[in-house]
Chains A and B, each alone.
Chain A
Amino acid sequence: GAVVSQHPSRVICKSGTSVKIECRSLDFQATTMFWYRQFPKQSLMLMATSNEGSKATYEQGVEKDKFLINHASLTLSTLTVTSAHPEDSSFYICSARGDSLAKNIQYFGAGTRLSVL
Protein backbone atom coordinates (compact mmCIF):
# COMPACT_ATOMS: atom_id res chain seq x y z
CA GLY A 1 0.00 0.00 0.00
CA ALA A 2 0.89 3.66 -0.29
CA VAL A 3 2.98 5.15 2.51
CA VAL A 4 2.47 8.54 4.10
CA SER A 5 5.08 9.73 6.55
CA GLN A 6 4.22 12.38 9.14
CA HIS A 7 6.69 14.14 11.43
CA PRO A 8 7.08 14.80 14.24
CA SER A 9 4.98 12.20 16.01
CA ARG A 10 4.96 14.20 19.21
CA VAL A 11 5.67 17.81 19.97
CA ILE A 12 5.49 19.81 23.18
CA CYS A 13 5.82 23.55 22.95
CA LYS A 14 5.29 26.69 24.96
CA SER A 15 2.29 28.90 24.41
CA GLY A 16 2.93 31.51 21.73
CA THR A 17 5.38 29.50 19.67
CA SER A 18 4.75 28.13 16.18
CA VAL A 19 4.90 24.47 15.31
CA LYS A 20 5.38 22.93 11.88
CA ILE A 21 4.17 19.44 10.98
CA GLU A 22 5.34 17.71 7.81
CA CYS A 23 3.46 15.18 5.74
CA ARG A 24 5.22 13.31 2.95
CA SER A 25 4.01 10.74 0.44
CA LEU A 26 6.90 8.31 0.10
CA ASP A 27 6.01 6.18 -2.88
CA PHE A 28 3.43 8.13 -4.83
CA GLN A 29 2.68 11.65 -5.91
CA ALA A 30 0.03 13.20 -3.72
CA THR A 31 -2.11 15.45 -5.84
CA THR A 32 -4.35 16.16 -2.87
CA MET A 33 -3.55 16.25 0.82
CA PHE A 34 -5.87 16.59 3.76
CA TRP A 35 -5.35 17.74 7.31
CA TYR A 36 -7.50 16.48 10.15
CA ARG A 37 -7.78 17.16 13.83
CA GLN A 38 -8.94 14.56 16.31
CA PHE A 39 -9.82 14.96 19.98
CA PRO A 40 -9.67 11.94 22.31
CA LYS A 41 -12.32 9.38 21.52
CA GLN A 42 -13.85 11.59 18.88
CA SER A 43 -14.10 11.31 15.13
CA LEU A 44 -11.83 12.85 12.52
CA MET A 45 -12.51 16.52 11.86
CA LEU A 46 -11.40 17.75 8.45
CA MET A 47 -9.55 21.04 8.72
CA ALA A 48 -8.46 21.70 5.16
CA THR A 49 -7.83 20.23 1.74
CA SER A 50 -4.87 21.21 -0.38
CA ASN A 51 -3.98 20.54 -3.98
CA GLU A 52 -0.37 20.80 -5.09
CA GLY A 53 0.50 24.32 -6.09
CA SER A 54 -2.83 25.79 -4.99
CA LYS A 55 -4.06 27.51 -1.88
CA ALA A 56 -5.66 25.24 0.65
CA THR A 57 -9.43 25.11 1.07
CA TYR A 58 -10.35 25.41 4.73
CA GLU A 59 -13.44 24.00 6.38
CA GLN A 60 -15.86 26.35 8.02
CA GLY A 61 -14.67 27.48 11.42
CA VAL A 62 -10.98 26.74 10.80
CA GLU A 63 -8.80 29.84 11.05
CA LYS A 64 -6.64 30.20 7.96
CA ASP A 65 -4.16 32.49 9.68
CA LYS A 66 -3.85 30.13 12.60
CA PHE A 67 -3.33 26.95 10.63
CA LEU A 68 -1.08 27.64 7.67
CA ILE A 69 -0.98 24.92 5.05
CA ASN A 70 1.57 24.67 2.28
CA HIS A 71 1.53 22.04 -0.45
CA ALA A 72 4.46 23.15 -2.56
CA SER A 73 5.35 19.80 -4.09
CA LEU A 74 3.65 16.56 -5.03
CA THR A 75 5.21 14.77 -2.09
CA LEU A 76 5.16 17.30 0.73
CA SER A 77 2.57 19.28 2.63
CA THR A 78 3.13 21.19 5.85
CA LEU A 79 0.79 22.44 8.55
CA THR A 80 2.05 25.27 10.71
CA VAL A 81 0.19 26.07 13.90
CA THR A 82 1.02 29.70 14.49
CA SER A 83 1.18 31.22 17.98
CA ALA A 84 -0.03 27.98 19.50
CA HIS A 85 -2.15 28.06 22.64
CA PRO A 86 -3.25 25.28 24.99
CA GLU A 87 -6.59 24.96 23.21
CA ASP A 88 -4.67 23.96 20.06
CA SER A 89 -3.45 20.84 21.83
CA SER A 90 -4.79 17.91 19.85
CA PHE A 91 -3.92 15.03 17.54
CA TYR A 92 -3.29 16.20 13.99
CA ILE A 93 -3.37 13.72 11.11
CA CYS A 94 -2.59 14.20 7.44
CA SER A 95 -3.74 12.06 4.56
CA ALA A 96 -2.92 11.99 0.88
CA ARG A 97 -4.49 10.88 -2.33
CA GLY A 98 -2.78 10.34 -5.69
CA ASP A 99 -3.79 9.90 -9.30
CA SER A 100 -1.48 6.92 -9.67
CA LEU A 101 -3.43 5.08 -7.01
CA ALA A 102 -7.13 4.38 -6.72
CA LYS A 103 -8.05 8.04 -6.96
CA ASN A 104 -10.66 8.07 -4.28
CA ILE A 105 -8.63 6.38 -1.57
CA GLN A 106 -6.94 8.40 1.15
CA TYR A 107 -3.83 7.13 2.91
CA PHE A 108 -3.07 8.48 6.35
CA GLY A 109 0.05 9.47 8.22
CA ALA A 110 0.66 8.24 11.77
CA GLY A 111 -0.42 11.54 13.30
CA THR A 112 1.20 14.22 15.44
CA ARG A 113 0.30 14.76 19.05
CA LEU A 114 0.65 18.44 19.91
CA SER A 115 0.75 19.59 23.50
CA VAL A 116 0.91 23.31 24.16
CA LEU A 117 1.93 24.28 27.66
Chain B
Amino acid sequence: QKEVEQDPGPLSVPEGAIVSLNCTYSNSAFQYFMWYRQYSRKGPELLMYTYSSGNKEDGRFTAQVDKSSKYISLFIRDSQPSDSATYLCAMTNAGKSTFGDGTTLTVKP
Protein backbone atom coordinates (compact mmCIF):
# COMPACT_ATOMS: atom_id res chain seq x y z
CA GLN B 1 0.00 0.00 0.00
CA LYS B 2 1.26 3.47 -0.90
CA GLU B 3 2.06 5.96 1.84
CA VAL B 4 0.09 8.64 -0.01
CA GLU B 5 -3.09 7.92 -1.92
CA GLN B 6 -4.63 10.55 -4.12
CA ASP B 7 -8.09 10.49 -5.71
CA PRO B 8 -7.21 9.35 -9.23
CA GLY B 9 -9.67 11.36 -11.28
CA PRO B 10 -9.85 12.57 -13.93
CA LEU B 11 -12.16 15.29 -12.80
CA SER B 12 -14.22 17.45 -15.16
CA VAL B 13 -16.24 20.41 -13.91
CA PRO B 14 -17.99 23.43 -15.42
CA GLU B 15 -16.44 26.85 -15.03
CA GLY B 16 -17.34 28.43 -11.70
CA ALA B 17 -17.69 25.14 -9.83
CA ILE B 18 -16.08 24.40 -6.49
CA VAL B 19 -13.46 21.69 -6.83
CA SER B 20 -12.30 19.38 -4.07
CA LEU B 21 -9.06 17.43 -4.49
CA ASN B 22 -8.14 14.91 -1.82
CA CYS B 23 -5.30 12.79 -0.50
CA THR B 24 -5.00 10.34 2.35
CA TYR B 25 -1.81 9.15 3.97
CA SER B 26 -0.69 6.46 6.34
CA ASN B 27 2.49 7.89 7.91
CA SER B 28 1.62 9.98 10.96
CA ALA B 29 5.18 11.39 10.96
CA PHE B 30 4.51 13.57 7.93
CA GLN B 31 5.00 17.18 8.93
CA TYR B 32 4.62 19.41 5.86
CA PHE B 33 1.77 19.09 3.40
CA MET B 34 2.02 20.60 -0.08
CA TRP B 35 -0.06 21.01 -3.18
CA TYR B 36 1.54 21.40 -6.59
CA ARG B 37 -0.05 22.21 -9.92
CA GLN B 38 1.44 20.74 -13.07
CA TYR B 39 0.45 21.93 -16.51
CA SER B 40 1.03 19.61 -19.43
CA ARG B 41 4.72 19.31 -20.34
CA LYS B 42 5.81 21.55 -17.47
CA GLY B 43 7.36 21.00 -14.07
CA PRO B 44 5.17 21.07 -10.94
CA GLU B 45 4.55 24.50 -9.45
CA LEU B 46 4.12 24.89 -5.70
CA LEU B 47 0.65 26.22 -4.90
CA MET B 48 0.49 26.04 -1.13
CA TYR B 49 2.01 24.34 1.85
CA THR B 50 0.87 23.90 5.42
CA TYR B 51 2.52 22.64 8.53
CA SER B 52 -0.33 21.91 10.89
CA SER B 53 -3.93 20.83 10.92
CA GLY B 54 -6.46 23.40 9.86
CA ASN B 55 -7.16 25.57 6.87
CA LYS B 56 -4.94 27.87 4.86
CA GLU B 57 -6.40 30.18 2.27
CA ASP B 58 -4.76 31.88 -0.70
CA GLY B 59 -7.13 33.60 -3.07
CA ARG B 60 -9.43 31.00 -4.59
CA PHE B 61 -7.45 28.14 -3.10
CA THR B 62 -7.90 26.63 0.36
CA ALA B 63 -5.71 23.85 1.72
CA GLN B 64 -7.12 21.78 4.53
CA VAL B 65 -5.25 19.32 6.71
CA ASP B 66 -6.80 16.90 9.17
CA LYS B 67 -3.98 15.05 10.89
CA SER B 68 -6.29 13.00 13.07
CA SER B 69 -7.90 11.50 9.96
CA LYS B 70 -4.69 11.62 7.89
CA TYR B 71 -6.54 13.46 5.18
CA ILE B 72 -5.74 16.59 3.20
CA SER B 73 -7.77 18.52 0.68
CA LEU B 74 -7.38 21.36 -1.75
CA PHE B 75 -10.47 23.39 -2.56
CA ILE B 76 -10.68 25.62 -5.60
CA ARG B 77 -13.48 28.17 -5.64
CA ASP B 78 -14.89 29.74 -8.79
CA SER B 79 -12.84 27.39 -10.93
CA GLN B 80 -11.52 28.73 -14.22
CA PRO B 81 -10.43 27.00 -17.44
CA SER B 82 -6.88 28.11 -16.57
CA ASP B 83 -7.08 25.84 -13.52
CA SER B 84 -7.11 22.83 -15.84
CA ALA B 85 -4.01 20.89 -14.85
CA THR B 86 -2.80 17.94 -12.82
CA TYR B 87 -2.68 18.56 -9.08
CA LEU B 88 -0.19 16.70 -6.92
CA CYS B 89 -0.28 16.42 -3.17
CA ALA B 90 3.01 15.90 -1.36
CA MET B 91 4.08 15.33 2.21
CA THR B 92 7.42 15.37 3.94
CA ASN B 93 9.05 13.65 6.85
CA ALA B 94 12.68 14.09 7.84
CA GLY B 95 13.35 15.96 4.63
CA LYS B 96 11.98 13.28 2.36
CA SER B 97 8.96 14.11 0.21
CA THR B 98 6.36 11.61 -0.91
CA PHE B 99 4.10 12.55 -3.80
CA GLY B 100 0.63 11.44 -4.74
CA ASP B 101 0.07 10.24 -8.29
CA GLY B 102 -1.90 13.34 -9.20
CA THR B 103 -5.48 14.23 -10.13
CA THR B 104 -6.12 15.69 -13.56
CA LEU B 105 -8.69 18.46 -13.53
CA THR B 106 -10.46 19.90 -16.54
CA VAL B 107 -12.57 23.03 -16.14
CA LYS B 108 -14.90 23.49 -19.07
CA PRO B 109 -15.95 26.99 -20.15
Contact = CB atoms under 8 A, between A and B. Distances in A.
The answer to whether A and B belong to the same complex is yes
Contacts of A110: 42-43
Given A32-B95, A44-B88, A104-B95, A91 B41 contact: yes
Contacts, number: 50
Contacts of A103: 95
A43 B101 contact: yes
Interface string A95-114: 10100001111111111010
Interface stretch (B17-25, B28-36, B62-70, B71-79): B28-36
Given A43-B101, A43-B102, A105 B34 contact: yes
A104 B92 contact: yes
Contacts of A113: 41
Given A43-B101, A106-B97, A108-B36, A1 B43 contact: no
Contacts of B95: 32, 97, 103-104
Interface residues of B, number: 21
B52 to A, nearest CB: 13
A43 B99 contact: yes
Interface string A17-58: 000000000000000100000000111100000000000000
Contact of A102 (B32, B44, B88, B104): B32
A13 B48 CA distance: 37
A77 interface: no
Interface of B: 31-32, 34, 36, 41-46, 49, 88, 90, 92, 95, 97, 99-102, 104
- The 6 A-B residue pairs with the shortest CB-CB distance, nearest first, are A108-B43, A104-B92, A43-B101, A104-B32, A111-B43, A108-B44
